[in-house]
Amino acid sequence: MTDLRRPGDPASAPRPKKQEQEPASTDVVEVAPGVLRMQLPIWMPGLGHVNMYGLVDERGIAVVDPGLPGPSSWKALKQRLHDAGFRTKDVHTVIVTHSHPDHFGGAGRLAKEAGAELITHAAFTTWLSYGKDRRPVSEREAIELERHAAAAAQALDLGVLGDDDHDRLADPLRADEDDLDRNLGSVAWADKTPWGGTKHPRPAFHKRMVMRAMRLLFTPPHPTRRVRHGDVLQLGGREWVAIHTPGHTLDHLCVYDPDSGILLSGDHVLPTITPHVSGVGNGADSLKSYIATLDLVARLDGISTGLPAHGHPFDDVPGRVDAIKRHHEERMEQIRTVSHALGPATVVAVSHEIFPQKHWGVMAESETFAHLEHLVLGGRAERWEEHGHLLYRVA
């Protein structure tokens, strides 16, 4: 997630904590008829909780985004279900909105223990797996790994996916079967970035504990149903429509109830934080995809309430979409101003002018890259390569 401001900007003064950063509450709240909000604790940078939603029907309950892997999250998940009047075996369906670990981390274990259907978008994949020996870990080992992972979480760039560009996925509604079925990989660090030059070497041991913990605590989710845009899901006593919304990730899935106007928005539309949009492995123009699918959800017939993966429910989805779009327009204007001041510049140089120093790194660079590529592909900037670096100049 990003809600970052340039150092020295008067607007960068200390601000109240964002909704999405609030710690997880233990309350179970019915936010709409038959829709429960249950918050799970997470140790992701800049976030305090993830909303696990429960859709109640005569079969039991469907669960959306069951949090991170690991003992703490699993314990909280079971307690929230208990407080809502359900047991693990009452879960008949697990829905994952996208391929970030605070959303899919508990899905594999929950689906396996409950014998539940596991639903994702067709493009869903994960970048975690067991080690070569696939050795199970004890509860004591798991808790120790989770402790190390929590301490090192700030060191891991969790928002960056990595793979070849997928040009046709820039328009999510015209993607073909081969594109969507591709096995998209992911890299938290890589030998070389697409913009060249800057390397992100293998982290030190204590930082690698994050990845080790994830692998050993993780029951891989194996989707039993992969949906596409427009597919209908019968859950919670009503029909929900799958809405493919790439931008934050390539496989991002929102779920919409047209009768009530409720959108389970995942990380696509958040109430006070602007979701991270990576330019890596997210389509040829990930920002174009993101803006197009923001408009898509804002135009849904009868759209009213957003139920986000982080933060509180909000009433004006189109209004929040407009605010997020304004943010990206302002960011591109900021990049134009920086470009005029610097002249031809690398992604790293531009990112250092836009983001505070404490946020410098691959996530800031990948989002800067996404904006610069959007400007290039829209004819508002030019790009060329010199000495292994991409250089940009904005008109």
| Chain segment 239-256, per-residue pLDDT in tens | 999 999 999 999 999 999
Alpha-carbon gap, residue 44 to 101, rounded angstroms: 9
Alpha-carbon gap, residue 111 to 88, rounded angstroms: 9
- Of 238, 226, 210, 59, residue with least CA distance to 145: 210
**Residue 90: its pLDDT value, please?**
98
- For residue range 193-226, list pLDDT tens digits in order: 899 865 555 555 555 565 566 666 678 899 999 9
On whether residue 135 sits in a domain, the answer given is no
CATH number of the CATH domain containing 244: 3.60.15.10
Per-position b or e across 150-159, b if 16+ CB within 10 A of its CB? bebbebbbbb
On whether residue 140 sits in a domain, the answer given is no
Q: Percentage of the chain with pLDDT > 70?
A: 74
Quickly tell me which residue has 């030190």 as its tokens.
204
Integer CA distances (angstroms), 254 to 172, 232, 241, 308, in order: 13, 12, 8, 10
What average pLDDT does the chain have?
Answer: 82
On whether residue 368 sits in a domain, the answer given is no
First-to-last alpha carbon distance for the chain, in angstroms, is 28
The boundaries of the domain holding residue 282 are: 10-128+157-202+218-324
Identify the residue with better confidence: 233 or 154. Answer: 233
Which amino acid appears at position 369 of this protein?
Answer: F
Alpha-carbon gap, residue 255 to 228, rounded angstroms: 11
151 has pLDDT over 60: no
Q: How confident is the model at residue 323 (pLDDT cuts 50, 70, 90)?
A: very high
On whether residue 210 sits in a domain, the answer given is no
Tokens of 287: 């920002």
**Residue 340: its pLDDT value, please?**
97
User: Strand 232-235 vs strand 262-266: parallel, antiparallel, or unpaired?
Assistant: unpaired
Instruction: Name which of 6-15, 61-70, 265-274 the model is least confident about.
Output: 6-15
318 has pLDDT over 50: yes
On whether residue 2 sits in a domain, the answer given is no
Q: How confident is the model at residue 287 (pLDDT cuts 50, 70, 90)?
A: very high
Q: How confident is the model at residue 310 (pLDDT cuts 50, 70, 90)?
A: very high
**Residue 218: its pLDDT value, please?**
73
- Of 163, 156, 213, 216, residue with least CA distance to 188: 156
Identify the residue with better confidence: 46 or 124. Answer: 124
Identify the residue with better confidence: 160 or 305. Answer: 305
Identify the residue with better confidence: 134 or 320. Answer: 320
Pair 341, 394: CB distance under 8 Å: no
Strand partners, 118: 94
139 has pLDDT over 90: no
Alpha-carbon gap, residue 306 to 75, rounded angstroms: 27
- For residue range 60-83, list pLDDT tens digits in order: 999 999 999 888 899 999 999 999
Q: How confident is the model at residue 280 (pLDDT cuts 50, 70, 90)?
A: confident
Which residues make Cβ contacts (< 8 Å) with residue 313, sequence separation at least 6?
A: 31, 37, 305, 306, 307
- Torsion angle defined by CA atoms of residues 248, 232, 62 and 128, in that order, rounded to the nearest 10 degrees: -40
Identify the residue with better confidence: 283 or 177. Answer: 283
Identify the residue with better confidence: 189 or 363. Answer: 363
On whether residue 316 sits in a domain, the answer given is yes
4 has pLDDT over 50: no
Tokens of 354: 């836009």
Which residues make Cβ contacts (< 8 Å) with residue 386, sequence separation at least 6?
A: none
Average pLDDT over residues 309-331: 98
**Residue 192: its pLDDT value, please?**
77
On whether residue 179 sits in a domain, the answer given is yes
Alpha-carbon gap, residue 349 to 351, rounded angstroms: 5
On whether residue 100 sits in a domain, the answer given is yes
Q: Percentage of the chain with pLDDT > 90?
A: 65
Tokens of 377: 């592909």
Q: How confident is the model at residue 262 (pLDDT cuts 50, 70, 90)?
A: very high
Count of domains in the chain?
1
Alpha-carbon gap, residue 235 to 127, rounded angstroms: 28
**Residue 290: its pLDDT value, please?**
96
